[in-house]
Amino acid sequence: MSPLPSRETLFNSPGVSIRDHLILAPWFPDASLLAQVRRDAERRRDRLGGEWLDTGDFTLITGFLGYSALFTHLAFLEEPFPGRISFLGTAGSLNPGLKTTRLLQVVRIMGSGPLKSFSNQGILEMEGREIPGLDGVTGVSVDMVQRETPEWLQEQRKRKADIVEMELFPLRAILNLPVTALVVVTDLVTEAGIRPFRDAKGLKRDFRRGWEMLLALPETG
């Protein structure tokens, strides 16, 4: 099962070549940081409501929500995929111990609802580079916003999920490549509802910190 079109299908346009480090960021909460990346970019392309930025060191794809939008972007890439794939996003906390804005590394990911069908394994290791100083967490991916219900929350806590997001389980399952995934938690999901942290300054700070960590990753090892 793959949402990425085979080069043998009628969708056979030439793949777009990109840098060896692909960074995927659904959205940029730090507008000044994104503006800096744009200034540094050798090439910028607006595509499918999102944005592709090529620098000398990496390609950034940003401006998508959910796995289906992400895979629509990935369908245009030249294969094989890059040797380094990084993800920087935001997530909701399912763990009452994670109740403030905080940068985390997703080391394991599970699917929820229809997304479970992307893999016959209930949980996938991300197999990305371990980043010192960050706590590793287990995440669960949902296919649509507002999927959380009290029953759903109880189930995910039994599965020991710490955070919820929308792209990582399909990405890891379909590409079958290591992904170094960082997320900033922005709200807490409780039985009574979703409680936003409303910490815009902290979100920008930790997003920028995660960005700098991903750029500092060595090419090999």
pTM for the whole structure: 0.93
pLDDT score for 8: 63
Residue 3 falls within a domain, yes or no? no
State the pairing for strand pair 163-165/136-141. parallel
Q: Residue 199: which CATH number?
A: 3.40.50.1580
Percent of the chain with pLDDT over 70: 93
Helices assigned H by DSSP within 59-199: 67-74, 150-158, 168-175
Map tokens 């890059």 to a residue.
82
Report the domain count for the chain.
1
Residue 146 falls within a domain, yes or no? yes
Residue 2 falls within a domain, yes or no? no
Residue 221 falls within a domain, yes or no? no
Per-residue pLDDT of the chain (221 residues; tens, 9 = 90+): 455 655 566 566 667 889 999 999 999 999 999 999 999 999 999 988 899 999 999 999 999 999 999 999 999 898 888 889 999 999 999 999 999 999 999 999 999 999 999 999 999 999 999 999 999 999 999 998 878 899 999 999 999 999 999 999 999 999 999 999 999 999 999 999 999 999 999 999 999 999 999 999 987 64
Residue 168 falls within a domain, yes or no? yes
Within a 10 A sphere around the Cβ of 91, how many other Cβ atoms?
A: 27
Range of the domain at 202: 21-211
* CA distance to 18, 59, 151, 198, per residue, from 84 (Å): 11, 11, 37, 33
Residue 134 falls within a domain, yes or no? yes
Residue 91 falls within a domain, yes or no? yes
User: How far is the C-alpha of 82 from the C-alpha of 161, rounded, in Å?
Assistant: 29
Residue 5 falls within a domain, yes or no? no
